[in-house]
């Protein structure tokens, strides 16, 4: 249940400090990483932030709204980073390799742990779940957009069941499973995860090579080559 504190009528002088809200967010992020959601206390967060605990209610209204604000703060930065990667003029294999480095950074920073903590808490906290799920869907939409772009560029002939949605779902759910596995210390799975990520990168490099320009001229699409072959048969 959300932990709500009554805000005082007259706030302490430090409430006017421009970095108070950010200090609370930073402290809450660190508390989630170190202690987890189940042990999260607004008083502990306030202590770590060096503020009166009533200020958490003043700025955020309670613990659950605070942790969603923590997630939003991180998501804004990371989704912007992903969008910049999306707009970078490199091949899809290179984008995949960069995304893997981003993941290593997010794992080290604690972001992956924070997201997993809120995922787990959402199982039994309906109000938190309603706020959390749209944030996860934003990441899944990003994956879907990337898959659609790659399929459009590659023009590969796949069975109808292998739609962009199906491929994006496979990638997203694999990645989430990998995150939970690594967070709980299933080190025996790491080699298999790495091998899978390597295999996808190798596949993308092969497909990138097929659509790379040759002697300054774009290579024809695969379907066009197939049509000419059939007409000459």
Rg (CA), the chain: 23
Asked whether residue 142 is domain-assigned, the answer is yes
Asked whether residue 31 is domain-assigned, the answer is no
The predicted structure's pLDDT at residue 86: 85
- pLDDT bin (cut points 50, 70, 90) of residue 22 is very high
Asked whether residue 43 is domain-assigned, the answer is no
Indicate whether 67 pLDDT > 80.
yes
Indicate whether 13 pLDDT > 50.
no
The predicted structure's pLDDT at residue 228: 38
Stronger pLDDT, 220 or 37, i.e. the higher one: 37
The predicted structure's pLDDT at residue 202: 98
Indicate whether 226 pLDDT > 70.
no
Indicate whether 115 pLDDT > 60.
yes
Gap between the Cα atoms of 191 and 176, Å rounded: 16
Average pLDDT over residues 81-106: 93
Asked whether residue 36 is domain-assigned, the answer is no
Average pLDDT, the chain: 85
Asked whether residue 90 is domain-assigned, the answer is yes
The predicted structure's pLDDT at residue 223: 41
The pTM score is: 0.79
Average pLDDT over residues 102-108: 95
Kindly report the CATH number assigned to the domain that includes residue 80.
1.10.357
- pLDDT bin (cut points 50, 70, 90) of residue 120 is very high
pLDDT for 77-90, tens place per residue?
A: 898 898 889 888 99
The predicted structure's pLDDT at residue 225: 37
Gap between the Cα atoms of 1 and 25, Å rounded: 20
pLDDT for 130-187, tens place per residue?
A: 999 999 999 999 999 999 999 999 999 999 999 999 999 999 999 999 999 999 998 8
Domain total in the chain: 1
Contacts within 8 Å (CB) and 24+ apart, 114-120: 114/29, 114/32, 114/33, 114/70, 114/71, 114/74, 115/71, 115/179, 116/179, 116/180, 116/183, 117/32, 117/36, 117/37, 118/32, 118/37, 118/67, 118/68, 118/71, 120/37
Indicate whether 203 pLDDT > 90.
yes
Provide the domain limits for residue 204.
63-213
The predicted structure's pLDDT at residue 196: 97
Asked whether residue 104 is domain-assigned, the answer is yes
Average pLDDT over residues 196-203: 97
Asked whether residue 172 is domain-assigned, the answer is yes
């Amino acid at each position: 249940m959300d932990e709500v504190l009554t805000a005082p009528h007259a706030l302490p002088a430090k409430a006017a400090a421009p970095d108070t809200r950010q200090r609370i967010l930073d402290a809450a992020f660190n508390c989630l990483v170190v202690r987890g959601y189940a042990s999260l206390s607004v008083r502990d967060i306030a202590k770590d932030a060096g503020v009166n605990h009533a200020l958490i209610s003043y700025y955020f209204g309670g613990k659950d709204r605070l942790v969603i604000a923590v997630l939003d703060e991180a998501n804004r930065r990371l989704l912007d980073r992903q969008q910049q990667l999306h707009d970078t003029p490199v091949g899809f294999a290179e984008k995949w390799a960069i995304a893997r480095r981003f993941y290593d950074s997010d794992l080290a920073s604690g972001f992956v742990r924070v997201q997993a903590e809120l995922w787990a808490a959402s199982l039994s906290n309906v109000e938190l779940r309603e706020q959390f799920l749209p944030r996860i869907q934003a990441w899944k939409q990003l994956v879907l957009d990337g898959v659609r772009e790659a399929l459009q560029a590659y023009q590969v002939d796949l069975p109808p069941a292998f739609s962009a949605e199906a491929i994006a779902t496979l990638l997203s759910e694999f990645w989430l499973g990998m995150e939970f596995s690594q967070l709980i210390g299933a080190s025996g799975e790491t080699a298999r995860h790495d091998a899978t990520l390597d295999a996808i990168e190798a596949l993308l490099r092969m497909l990138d090579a097929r659509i790379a320009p040759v002697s300054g001229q774009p290579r024809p699409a695969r379907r066009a080559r197939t049509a000419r072959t059939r007409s000459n048969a």
